[in-house]
Every structure is written in C-alpha cells, then in structure tokens.
Amino acid sequence: MGIYKHLFFDLDHTLWDFEKNSAQAMRNIFADLLAPRMKVPFEVFHEAYVEVNDRWWDAYRNELVSKEDLRVGRFSESMQRFGLVDLILADEVATAYTDIGPYMPHLHEGAHEVLHELGERGYIMHIITNGFEEVQHIKLRESDLKKYFIEIITSEEAGAKKPDPIIFEHAFKRSRADASESLMVGDSMGADIHGAMKVGMDQAYFNPKGIPHTESPTYEVKALKELLGIL
C-alpha cells in the first residue's frame, strides 16, 4: 500500500455496466410494452432513446428538471419521436424500467477480480454515486458488489450531487477518511474527477472509450485491471 488508504468508487459506468444493463432492460420492456404499438425495430428505438436519455440526465444533473420529470420524460419523448403520444404508457415503461433495470447483472470487465484484490491489499473501499438511493442499493446487492464496500454514499442521502464538494465532505465524514489519503475512481470528468479535484482528492479517470480531453487527472485507465498497477 502506498499513499492511499481509502478508495472511493463511482458505480454507474465505472463498475456497473450501465450501457449493457440498460440496453438489456430496454429490450425486454420494448418487446412487452412498446413493440405492439410501434412499427420500428428495437435497435432504431433504442438509438433514439439513448440520445434522449443523455439529454434528460444532463438536465437533471444541472437541476433543470426533477427526478419525476426525468423518470417519465425520457420515455415519453422517445416514444413521441415515433409518433406514439401516450403519457400513461410512458409512465408504465418508466416504472418497468426502474423495476427491472437495477436487477441486470453486467459489470465492467474485471470488476470483481480488481475489487477483491484491492480488498486483499488492505484498501478501505466506498461508493459515491449520483444515482437514486433505492436503485443503487439493489444494483450493488444483485451484482454481488456490496461485500467490497464499507460506506455507500448516494446523492439522494447526501443532499448534493457530485461534483458538489458537499457530497465528498459527507463521504469523508462517514468513512472517517481524509482527502490526502484517498483516491476517487470514476468515469465522469465532470462529476467524479472535477469533484475530487475540488476537495483535494487524487483521481483515477476511468476512460474505457479513450474519450479525448485536455484535463490532467492524477491517473487515467482504460480498464479496471490497470488500477492494480497503480495501487
């Protein structure tokens, strides 16, 4: 062990393979609820949904829309693109998505091996996530990740989202960690990396797609396994 004692991990898109899980959940829901009402193949609908969903999440992160707006709006807007205007159905789709999404099992490659090994090396590990409290706990339990973590900090519980320093300070207090002995691992330059920088915590930017940027995180990895070479 080097200078770090506490490792803080982001969950969605870092450990939990959000894209793969979301696509699988949407495929099931599309077959059940939307295919009978729409004449588009799943792939076409899903491509539109991914784009619409990204925009709604941006708006939610910037506090332009509420949790409830986000929950239903992304589906009603996606459906409207293909001429289906039905708020009741959109609400049903949203409910089904929230119900089954968190139970999808896919993790980013190497997640279990890396977390297990880091635990063996004596690191104290925690989660800091901007997701919803109930949903994130289901994901952690269903994907068998919970056992690696001491504290699970959600934005809902902390009352602030990354990159707001409030959620990081809350995490330090809960875990009795100090920024100087901690590392944040996450896929979001805006939320995870900038957030950690603001509170003086080192950062490992998980950038599996090699998205170009001009920032200088402490570390950058393309695969979770690379963390084992750093820590």
Q: Which residues bind Mg ion (CB under 5 A)?
A: 10, 12-14, 187-188
Task: Give min distance, CB of 224 to Mg ion, in A.
Answer: 13
Task: Give min distance, CB of 28 to Mg ion, in A.
Answer: 23
Residue 16 or residue 49: which is nearer to Mg ion going by CB?
16
Which of the 8 DSSP states describes residue 208? Answer: T
Residue 30 or residue 205: which is nearer to Mg ion going by CB?
205
Residue of 140, 206, 151, 146 lying closest to 177 (CA atoms)? 151
Task: Give min distance, CB of 124 to Mg ion, in A.
Answer: 21
The beta-carbon contacts of 156-164 under 8 Å, at least 24 apart in sequence, are: 156/131, 156/132, 157/133, 161/61, 161/130, 161/191, 162/10, 162/128, 162/130, 162/186, 162/188, 162/191, 162/192, 162/195, 163/190, 163/191, 163/192, 163/194, 163/195, 163/198, 164/195
Q: Please give the single-letter amino acid code of residue 227.
A: L
Task: Give min distance, CB of 129 to Mg ion, in A.
Answer: 8
Residue 177 or residue 185: which is nearer to Mg ion going by CB?
185
Which of the 8 DSSP states describes residue 9? Answer: E
Task: Give min distance, CB of 6 to Mg ion, in A.
Answer: 19
Residue of 208, 230, 211, 228 lying closest to 219 (CA atoms)? 230
**Rounded Cα gap, residues 30 and 133, in angstroms:** 26
Kindly list the distances between the CA atom of residue 46 and the CA atoms of 87, 98, 115, 120, in Å, as whole numbers in the listed order. 18, 16, 32, 40
Phi-psi region of 132 (alpha: psi -120 to 50; beta: other; left: phi over 0): beta
Residue 45 or residue 60: which is nearer to Mg ion going by CB?
60
Task: Give min distance, CB of 218 to Mg ion, in A.
Answer: 17
Residue 33 or residue 183: which is nearer to Mg ion going by CB?
183
Residue 13 or residue 106: which is nearer to Mg ion going by CB?
13
Residue 73 or residue 163: which is nearer to Mg ion going by CB?
163
Task: Give min distance, CB of 14 to Mg ion, in A.
Answer: 5
